[in-house]
Amino acid sequence: MNVVLAKTETGRALSDAFIVARDRLPGTGQILEQRRQAFDAYERAGLPHRRLEDWKYTDLRALMREVLPLAPAPDAAALKHAEKTLKQHKVRGTRRLVLVDGVFAPKLSETADLEKGLSIRSLREVLEAGNAELQSQLFAFDVSNPMVALNTAMMTDGVVIEVAAGTVMSQPLHVVHIATGSVPAAIFTRSLLRLGKDAGVTLVESYVAADGAKAYQAHDSLVIAIGDNSRLDHVRLVEDSAEAANISSAVVTLGAHAHFNTFGMTSGASVSRYQANIAFAGEGSRVETNGVNLLNGKQHADTTLFMDHAVPNCASREVFRAVADDRAHSVFQGRIIVRPDAQKTDAKMMTRALLLSDEAEADNKPELEIFADDVTCGHGATTGALDESLLFYLRARGLSEKEAQSLLIQAFVGEAIESIVNDDLRELAVASAIRWLEARA
Amino acid sequence: MPAVQETVERVRRIDVDQYRYGFETLIESDKAPKGLTEDTVRFISAKKNEPAWMLEWRLEAFRRWLTMTEPQWARVHYPKIDYQDLYYYAAPKPKKQVGSLDEIDPEILKTYEKLGIPLREVEVLEGVVRPEGERKIAVDAVFDSVSVATTFQKELKQAGVIFMPISEAIREHPELVKKYLGSVVPTSDNFFATLNSAVFSDGSFVYVPPGVRCPMELSTYFRINERNTGQFERTLIIADKGSYVSYLEGCTAPQRDENQLHAAVVELVALDDAEIKYSTVQNWYPGNSEGVGGIYNFVTKRGDCRGNNSKISWTQVETGSAITWKYPSCILRGDNSRGEFYSIAISNGHQQVDSGTKMIHLGKNTTSRIISKGIAAGVSQNTYRGLVTAHRKATGARNYTACDSLLIGDKCGAHTVPYVEAKNSSATFEHEATTSKISEDVLFYCVQRGLSQEEAVGLVVNGFVKDVLQQLPMEFAVEAQKLISISLEGSVG
């Protein structure tokens, strides 16, 4: 819809912010031009609002109101602060890569003794070095999404990971986004993960806040390219501060006979949106997308998945579970498109929402768009409260109301969590869910 | 399994020209000047001898319409409609004053006979053409912009049921019309509904008094005959406390190369303990095999379960129209009210269907059920678009939705766009959707037992839509079943 809106005060402030920030953003020449174009695209559209179909349930004009100015680069105190936070979020057996306030922190990261075939660089390094191929991949995002356009214009840093053909890594990579700022500011990051043929890796992403970091905005984007016969396991945990906003997107492409297993859990952030576009580019590939929202207070979390079956003989599974308490609002939009020649597609999507309070809201929009006839596609969506008879059964066996609820909620989200293959990571997700339940009780 | 070569060939050869109701009736007609201005609205209002308040109502809608833009969100594509290039009113020129059915232009009667719609109630009453056991149906026949005949008026009057063209109701029962018209679909509702409010010419009006079970099925038969004419009918049905009415609607149009516009509004009001059953068999001309011509069907249908324990049920069989844009909805306002939507939407050739329903749960313990079956063949696009929503105070709301799509051939598309919104924790919503093609195994099994390929497909399709067909009144179910086989003829191998 072409709604032309007068630029708001905050809109003008931001366009000044872009001019001011330009010197701090890596890349010159063509990159700067691409940034400028992306910023123009964002400026034309402004913050997305509910009149745009894709943002129908997540009106950022009402929820976020404005885009904050770019966060300052972390100083020594901030890094120290981040180090303390990092201790609480270490995941055993992983290689840590840390971004503090949107800037890669080599001192906090483990970049020494890389396995053969693994390359890790910061986004700043890559943009400044001028590698045309990597750069074109980094700019592969569709700027018709205003938040992606904004991210393209403002991205400050990130990690660029390359896994060479034939490299199967046993040690997972853990990218930790830490926000430390006590002043409200916005963080813009973009990362890239490239897997060659016959490669394999596990990627964990965490979004966390240091003590005292409150009303910040994390704008992140991730580009993933999975080569033929490769496998990527991906776990994403959003545990931002309860006043923060997290607006993220991902673009994933799969080669032939590739496998992508992804799990995302959102328990933090006041406003969050995760939009993933997953496209099949080669036959015989498979994607499993699983997600859990655990929300309370006035949290708003939106997961928007776009599964693009462009080629025949691919399979996709989406399992999504939302739990909303208090006045929380959970949104799931899933769209499966089966393009004209994508015969033998097998796509399933199941989304379920659990409302724990009369003021909570869950909106589901599972869409199917099918242009090929020899396919099996289906979706299901349910919404409801906890089953009274199950609660009664547990109460009769001596559990308290809260304990009984916790047990049932755990089982409810467990269906999505159990898809995580790596035992440690699955435990991590379970622990995170239990923490949320305990905080509730 | 991909479609066998034979199937593909047949789909290619698909012939939508089998439309059986494509003839034209040659009669003189009285038309409003082409185009749409305030004068057109005044002209229509004057033709209908409407009171001043009605004209004002129309003009207000017209002024509002001028500020609105045509909605673009549906998955249908068509060239821009030039609203100034249409006739907004066409009525068969009366040869003389019409007093009884015998005085209606015999050409029109013949038309309805050809369509199989019995207007000659005498014969029907005497049982001359009535097969044993067939129920009586009162018919209101709408030809282009006006209602030409309403049968069984007397018998209905005895029961206290008012069933008449809406233009007459405006004159004879202004208090009822004033109270309910636009109360379900307000004049500002959407582009097409607003247009309709400004220029609607005729339609049916039904009022069933408290506690009355309407003694027969009521039916309207819509026929577009005139060239370049838009048909804008308005139907208003009110079921007062504890009453019941079943209403059937059928539509056809002649075969023409140009596209014709049909923008109707249907409003249903069910008060306490009342029930309305609304069935539609929509078979407007779908255009030819090249996608030329056909009706653009932009319809707003909405039922308001205003009273407690009320029930509204929509059943539709959509086989016609080049473009269908139609979402019969239920507003479940009363406590314990119930809404139902049963739909079969078949698209073939170049047809585009974007249809579904809205179930808006406002009252306590409201329930709704949606069964939608979409069948796409040829190069058509068939979309189900539905909304189920429970508001804060709708405790105990329940919905069950099942929408299944069947694809016949690999050039067509089937889409599902459901919106499920729950703002109340005690709401229980279940939604499921599947898309598949007819299983080759099942077809093989049938053919092996001596059925032709076409019969086998017919059997499978009928099984697929059975849940919905069962909801139709008996006479309609038979017609619908025939229609389904006609619509799919030539599309399957």
3-state per-residue secondary structure call for chain A: CCCCCCCCHHHHHHHHHHHHHHHHCCCCCHHHHHHHHHHHHHHHHCCCCCCCHHHCCCCHHHHCCCCCCECCCCCHHHHHHHHHHHHHCCCCCCEEEEEECCEECCCCCCCCCCCCCEEEEEHHHHHHHCCHHHHHHHCCCCCCCHHHHHHHHHCCECEEEEECCCCECCCCEEEEEEECCCCCCEEEEEEEEEECCCCEEEEEEEEEECCCCCCCEEEEEEEEEECCCCEEEEEEEEECCCCCEEEEEEEEEECCCCEEEEEEEECCCCEEEEEEEEEECCCCCEEEEEEEEEECCCCEEEEEEEEEECCCCCEEEEEEEEEECCCCEEEEEEEEEECCCCCCCEEEEEEEEEECCCCCEEEEEEEEEECCCCCEEEEEEEEECCCHHHHHHHHHCCCCHHHHHHHHHHHHHHHHHCCCCCHHHHHHHHHHHHHHHHHHC
Q: Please, which pLDDT band fits residue B23 given cuts at 50, 70 and 90?
A: low
The angle at the Cα of A57, spanning A56 to A59, to the nearest 5 degrees, equals: 80
Measure the CA–CA gap between B398 and B411, rounded to whole angstroms: 37
- CB contact under 8 Å between B425 and A374, yes or no, is no
- Position B486 scores a pLDDT of 65
Mutation target vs A (from B420, B432, B436, B437; most A CBs, 10 A cutoff): B420
Question: Does residue B95 surpass a pLDDT of 60?
Answer: no
Q: What is the DSSP letter of B287?
A: -
Among A341, A361, A373, A405, most B C-beta atoms within 10 A, so best to mutate, is A373
Nearest CB partner across the interface for B426, out of A364, A377, A385: A385
* Contacting A residues, span 222-281, partner chain B, CB-CB under 8 Å: none
Q: How far is CA B51 from CA A31, B56, B164, B184, in A?
A: 69, 9, 17, 22
Beta strands in B32-189 (DSSP E): 90-92, 137-143, 146-150, 162-165
Go through B330-340 and write b for each residue having 16 or more CB atoms within 10 A of its CB, e for each that does not.
bbbbbbbbbbb
B-chain residues near A382 (CB < 8 A): 428-431
Task: Give the pLDDT of residue B11.
Answer: 41
Contact: B392, A385; criterion CB under 8 Å: no
Q: Predicted confidence band at B147 (pLDDT cuts at 50, 70, 90)?
A: low
Chain B's closest residue to A364, CA to CA, is B420
Of A91-105, A142-156, B139-153, give the lowest mean pLDDT range: B139-153
The C-alpha of A360 sits at a distance from chain B's nearest C-alpha, in angstroms, of 6
Whether A241 has a pLDDT exceeding 60, the answer reads yes
Choose among B350, B372, B378: nearest CA to B489. B378
Q: What is the pLDDT of residue B15?
A: 41
Residue B192 backbone zone (phi > 0: left; psi -120 to 50: alpha; other: beta): alpha
Partner residues linked to A364 by β-bridges: A332, B420
Phi first, then psi, for residue B139 (nearest 5°) are -115, 135
Q: How far is A334 from chain B (nearest CA, A)?
A: 10
Q: How many residues does chain B have?
A: 493
Lowest average pLDDT, out of A98-107, A338-347, B450-459, B480-489, goes to B480-489
How confident is the model at residue B104, as a pLDDT?
A: 61
Across the range B418-435, mean pLDDT stands at 89
A158 has a pLDDT exceeding 90: yes
CA dihedral of residues B389, B394, B400, B401 (deg, nearest 10): -10
What's the pLDDT band for B1 if we cut at 50, 70, 90?
very low
Query: What local confidence, expressed as pLDDT, does residue B4 receive?
Result: 44
Give chain B positions within 8 Å (CB) of A53: 73
| Closest CB from A358, A373, A382 relative to B410 | A373
Tell whether A307 is within 8 A of chain B (Cβ).
Answer: no
Question: Any CB–CB contact under 8 A between A297 and chain B?
Answer: no
Kindly state the average pLDDT of the residues A381-406: 93
Tell me: pLDDT of B324 over 80: yes
Overall average pLDDT of the B91-120 stretch: 59
Residue B489 banded pLDDT, cuts 50, 70, 90: low
Of B370, B317, B325, B324, nearest to B344 (Cα)?
A: B317
A425 Cβ neighbours under 8 A, 6+ residues apart: A91, A172, A202, A204, A233, A235
B241-272: per-residue pLDDT in tens? 999 999 888 766 666 667 788 889 999 999 99
At B107 the pLDDT is 67
B3, A373: Cβ pair inside 8 Å? yes
% of residues, chain B, pLDDT over 70: 76
B128 or B318, which is more confident: B318
Read off the pLDDT of each residue in A267-287 and give the average, rounded to a whole number. Answer: 96
Give me the residues of A, 156-175, that contact B with CB < 8 A.
none
CB contact under 8 A, B426 and A374: no
A362 interaction partners in chain B (CB closer than 8 Å): 421-422
Chain B residues touching residue A318 (CB < 8 angstroms): none
The gap from C-alpha A5 to its chain's centroid, in whole angstroms, comes to: 29
> What is the least distance, in Å, from the CA of B259 to any CA of chain A?
26
Find the closest chain B residue to A383 by CA distance: B429
Of the candidates A365, A372, A383, the beta carbon closest to that of B422 is on A383
Residue A373 to residue B72, Cβ atoms within 8 A: no
Q: Which residues contact B52 (CB under 8 A, 6 or more apart)?
A: none
CA A268 to chain centroid: 12
What's the pLDDT score for residue A240? 93
Q: Which residues of B touch A384 (CB under 8 A)?
A: 427-429
Name which of B421, B428, B433 is nearest A379 (Cβ-Cβ): B433
How many pairs of residues across A and B have Cβ atoms under 8 Å apart?
A: 122
CA-based nearest distance B385→chain A, Å: 9
CB contact, 8 Å: B425 with chain A? Answer: yes
- Per-residue pLDDT at A143: 77
Residue B276 and residue B313 in contact, taking contact as beta carbons nearer than 8 Å: yes
pLDDT exceeds cutoff 70 at B337: yes
Q: Which of A15-29, B156-170, B345-359, B408-422 has the lowest mean pLDDT?
A: A15-29
- Does the structure show a pLDDT above 80 at A237? yes
Closest to B198 measured CA to CA, from B189, B211, B208, B206: B189
pLDDT for the residue numbered A309: 96
Report which of B376, B427, B423 is spatially closest to residue B397, judged by C-alpha positions: B427
Average model confidence (pLDDT) for chain A? 91
Distance between CA A297 and CA A242 in Å, rounded? Answer: 9
Query: A6 vs A282, which has greater pLDDT?
Result: A282
A1, A370, A381 ranked by CB distance to B431: nearest: A381
Q: Is B424 on the interface with A (CB under 8 A)?
A: yes
Number of C-beta neighbours around residue A50 at 10 A: 13
- Nearest Cβ partner of A370 from B1, B3, B413? B413
Confidence of residue B114 (pLDDT cuts 50, 70, 90): low
Nearest to B436 among A367, A371, A376 (CB): A376
Whole-number pLDDT of residue B134: 45
CA distance B450 to chain A (A): 25
A385 touches chain B (CB under 8 A): yes
What are the strands, taking DSSP E only, across B106-209?
A: 137-143, 146-150, 162-165, 204-208
Q: Which residues pair with B370 in a beta bridge?
A: B341, B401
* Residue at token pair 């949106």: A273
Which residue, among A306, A349, A368, would best test binding to B if mutated, counting the most B CBs under 10 Å from its CB?
A368
Residues of A in contact with B395 (CB under 8 A): 358
Give the residue from B435, B438, B440, B492 with the most A CB atoms within 10 Å of its CB, the best one to mutate: B435
Question: How far apart (Å, rounded) are the C-alpha atoms in residues B205 and B222?
Answer: 14
Does A10 reach chain B within 8 Å, measured CB to CB? no
Mean pLDDT, rounded, for A53-79: 91
Distances (CA, A) of B22 to B106, B256, B257, B293, B475: 19, 8, 11, 12, 22
Contacts of A316 in chain B (CB under 8 A): none
pLDDT of residue B36: 86
Residue B262 and residue B230: Cα distance in Å, rounded?
A: 6
Tokens in use for A438?
């305990």
Closest CA to A351 of A325, A396, A317: A317
Evaluate if residue A69 carries a pLDDT over 90: no
Average pLDDT over residues A379-397: 93
Provide the pLDDT confidence category of residue B145 given band limits of 50, 70 and 90. low
Residues in chain A: 441
- A212 in contact with B at a CB cutoff of 8 Å? no
pLDDT value, residue A3: 40
Please state the ipTM of this predicted complex.
0.84
Mean pLDDT of A149-175: 95
- Three-state DSSP state, B40: helix
Distance (Å, whole) CA B252 – CA A371: 29
Cβ within 8 Å, pair A382-B409: no
pLDDT at residue B5 tops 80: no
pLDDT at B21 over 70: no
User: A246 or B232, which is more confident?
Assistant: A246
pLDDT of residue B126: 34
Distance from CA of A346 to the nearest CA of B (A): 10
Q: How confident is the model at residue A353 (pLDDT cuts 50, 70, 90)?
A: very high
Taking only residues 328 to 367 of chain A, the set having a beta carbon closer than 8 angstroms to any beta carbon of chain B reads 340, 343, 353, 355-367
- Taking only the tens place, the pLDDT of each residue in A218-232 is 999 999 999 999 999
Q: Does A144 touch chain B (CB under 8 A)?
A: no
What residue of B is the nearest CA neighbor of A366? B418
> Regarding predicted confidence, which is higher, B304 or B252?
B304
Flag the least confident range among A233-237, B75-79, B137-141, B234-238: B137-141
Chain A nearest-CA residue for B74: A53
- Please report the pLDDT score of residue B253 as a whole number: 62
For residues A351-374, average pLDDT: 92
Under 8 Å between Cβ of B374 and B404 = yes
Residue of A nearest to B419 (CA): A365
Residue A301 has a pLDDT of 97
Name residue, tokens 């001359």.
B128
